[in-house]
């Protein structure tokens, strides 16, 4: 099939070109984000492949449908950037990569936690300046700490397994209780109780109406002073304005973000020679106890191979039989 890939970088093309040798599709790469201004860039492609910071709203989907697109193939697990109601009414199936590497994301969450706690980001710069002192570099043992995990799906469970190895106590909140987690000693509690008890909170739930701004002024007030928050899930789970205030008064002691509320226009691009226009992001970057990474938790060799493989298999399956097992349903 002819496929238009939006929002692609050379690292995407490398994996898709290599794995496409087994599939034989015609790939057309478009570097721009997909949105209402760029949807018209497709020619005669029957499939559009999009990434997390593309916008697949009703207007974009209608344009694509009118241009003859038959399938939307997301090269991500998350699908909160797609108007599924509009896709359904346009009879435009949407497929995704439901799982590629929970290890990639969970390990990045642990990386953020270790780096923040042991101040490795500060030590790295300090010794390069010839400063071998230890002042302000003290961390705490993770062993024995209470970790609150919100969302115990694939990534949350992988994160839990790692943290159990550190000797942490795990409490969790999810709309579905997982028995395997309970057997490992994970205690499911209410969200408010998790906020009140946890020394460290890690978010692994999807973004939806129920989880939008899950971390807000009220929930922050319930938390322990100096709490650590790690978000590798979706930026809009956290009310950035509220978390900045909480950082300023010491309520939040450490904050590790791989995702940011307004990341769409910024992440994955190089602004090193420009002035960043987003004042909240700029403020976050001034805190010594905050680490922001640019939505890179998924970015491992293994995950990229799996993403390309499953995306192209989804399309091949659709081309051969019209069947699509990884279809996203409402
Ligand atoms: P998953 O579907 O396996 O697990 C999600 C879990 O969240 C499920 O157990 C579900 O019951 C739970 N959940 C749903 N609604 C909830 C709510 N209101 N409160 C608490 N829990 C709720 O998904 P996953 O593969 O573990 O991925 C988790 C999230 O990680 C994704 O939604 C995505 O946003 C994010 N993600 C980020 C990256 C990255 O690179 N940073 C990569 C992949 C996924």
**pLDDT for 66-121, tens place per residue?**
999 999 999 999 899 999 999 999 999 999 999 999 999 999 999 999 999 999 99
Measure 153 CA to ligand 1 centroid, in angstroms.
6
The structure's pTM equals: 0.94
Query: Which of 243, 285, 255, 241 lies closest to 267, judged by CA?
Result: 285
| pLDDT exceeds cutoff 90 at 321 | no
Told to judge if 262 belongs to the known catalytic residues of this protein, a careful annotator would answer no
CB proximity list for 219: less than 8 A, separation 6 or greater = 191, 192, 195
Q: Is residue 327 part of a domain?
A: no
- Identify whether residues 196 and 286 lie together within a single domain: yes
Q: Is residue 91 part of a domain?
A: yes
Q: Encode burial over 257-291: b for 16+ CB neighbours within 10 A, e otherwise.
A: bbbbbebbebbeeeeeeeeeebeebeebeeeebbb
Q: Is residue 132 part of a domain?
A: yes
Measure 215 CA to ligand 1 centroid, in angstroms.
15
For the chain, the domain total comes to 2
Q: Is residue 164 part of a domain?
A: yes
Q: Is residue 330 part of a domain?
A: no
- Identify whether residues 241 and 118 lie together within a single domain: yes
Mean pLDDT of 179-208: 98
147 backbone dihedrals φ, ψ, rounded to 5°:
-105, 130
The secondary structure of 293-317 as a DSSP string is --S-TT-SHHHHHHHHHHHHHHHHH
- Identify whether residues 147 and 36 lie together within a single domain: no
CB proximity list for 212: less than 8 A, separation 6 or greater = 236, 237
Ligand 1 atom with minimal separation from the 102 CA: 25
Q: Is residue 328 part of a domain?
A: no
- Identify whether residues 63 and 164 lie together within a single domain: no
Query: Virtual CA dihedral for 314, 317, 321, 324, nearest 10 degrees?
Result: -30
Mutate to test the pocket of ligand 1, among 201, 204, 230 (most ligand atoms within 8 A of CB): 204
Q: 4-42, pLDDT tens digit by residue?
A: 999 999 999 999 999 999 999 999 999 999 999 999 999
Alpha carbons 132 and 325: distance in angstroms, whole number: 56
Q: Encode burial over 214-235: b for 16+ CB neighbours within 10 A, e otherwise.
A: bbbeebbeebbeebbbbbbbbb
| pLDDT exceeds cutoff 80 at 318 | yes
| Residue among 234, 261, 301, 317 flagged as catalytic | 234
- Identify whether residues 201 and 271 lie together within a single domain: yes
- Identify whether residues 198 and 77 lie together within a single domain: no
Residue 208: give the domain boundaries: 102-292
CA-angle at 147, arms to 183 and 222, nearest 5°: 120
- Identify whether residues 60 and 29 lie together within a single domain: yes
Q: What is the pLDDT of residue 329?
A: 87
Told to judge if 269 belongs to the known catalytic residues of this protein, a careful annotator would answer no
Rounded percentage of the chain residues whose pLDDT exceeds 70? 100
Strands (E), the chain: 2-6, 26-30, 47-50, 71-74, 94-95, 146-150, 169-173, 187-188, 200-203, 227-231, 252-257, 290-292
- Identify whether residues 193 and 238 lie together within a single domain: yes
- Identify whether residues 131 and 280 lie together within a single domain: yes
Q: Which DSSP letter does residue 34 get?
A: P
Measure 52 CA to ligand 1 centroid, in angstroms.
14
Alpha carbons 330 and 116: distance in angstroms, whole number: 38
- Identify whether residues 150 and 238 lie together within a single domain: yes
CATH code for the domain of 286: 3.40.50.720
Give start and end residues of each alpha helix (H) in 95-207: 102-118, 120-128, 154-165, 179-183, 191-197
Alpha carbons 281 and 247: distance in angstroms, whole number: 13
Rounded percentage of the chain residues whose pLDDT exceeds 90? 96
Mutate to test the pocket of ligand 1, among 107, 155, 190, 212 (most ligand atoms within 8 A of CB): 155
- Identify whether residues 96 and 118 lie together within a single domain: no
Q: Is residue 326 part of a domain?
A: no
- Identify whether residues 107 and 178 lie together within a single domain: yes
Q: How far apart are the first and last CA of the chain?
A: 26
| CA 270 centroid distance within chain | 19
Ligand 1 atom with minimal separation from the 176 CA: 11
Token pair belonging to 3 = 């496929």
Q: 202-261, pLDDT tens digit by residue?
A: 999 999 999 999 999 999 999 999 999 999 999 999 999 999 999 999 999 999 999 999
Token pair belonging to 37 = 């201004």
Measure 2 CA to ligand 1 centroid, in angstroms.
31
Q: Is residue 163 part of a domain?
A: yes
Rounded mean pLDDT of the chain? 96
Q: What is the pLDDT of residue 282?
A: 97
306 backbone dihedrals φ, ψ, rounded to 5°:
-70, -40
């Amino acid at each position: 099939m002819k496929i238009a890939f939006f929002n692609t970088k050379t690292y995407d093309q490398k994996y898709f070109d290599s794995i496409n040798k087994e599939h034989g599709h015609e790939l057309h790469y478009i570097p721009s984000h997909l949105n209402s201004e760029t949807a018209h860039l497709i020619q005669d492609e029957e499939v559009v492949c999009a990434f997390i910071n593309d916008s697949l709203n009703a207007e974009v989907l209608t344009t694509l449908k009118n241009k003859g697109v038959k399938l939307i193939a997301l090269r991500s697990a998350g699908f909160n950037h797609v108007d599924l109601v509009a896709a359904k009414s346009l009879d435009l199936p949407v497929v995704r990569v439901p799982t590629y590497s929970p290890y990639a994301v969970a390990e990045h969450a642990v990386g953020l936690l270790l780096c923040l706690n042991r101040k490795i980001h500060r030590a790295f710069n300090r010794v390069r300046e010839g400063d071998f002192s230890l002042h302000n570099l003290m961390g705490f043992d993770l062993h024995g700490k209470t970790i609150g995990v919100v969302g115990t799906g694939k990534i949350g469970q992988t994160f839990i397994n790692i943290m159990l190895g550190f000797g942490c106590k795990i409490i969790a909140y999810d709309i579905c209780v997982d028995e395997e987690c309970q057997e490992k000693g994970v205690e499911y509690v209410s969200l408010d109780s998790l906020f009140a008890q946890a020394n460290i909170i890690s978010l692994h739930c999807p973004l939806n109406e129920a989880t939008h701004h899950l971390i807000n002024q009220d929930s922050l007030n319930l938390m322990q002073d100096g709490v650590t928050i790690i978000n590798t899930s979706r930026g809009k789970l956290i009310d950035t304005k509220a978390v900045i205030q909480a950082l300023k008064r010491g309520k939040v002691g450490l904050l590790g973000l791989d995702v940011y509320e307004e990341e769409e226009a910024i992440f994955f691009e190089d602004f090193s020679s420009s002035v960043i226009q987003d004042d909240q992001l700029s403020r976050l970057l001034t805190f010594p106890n905050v680490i922001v990474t640019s939505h890179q938790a998924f970015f491992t060799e293994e995950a990229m191979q799996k993403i390309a493989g499953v995306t192209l298999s989804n399309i091949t399956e659709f081309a051969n039989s019209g069947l699509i097992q990884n279809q996203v349903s409402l």
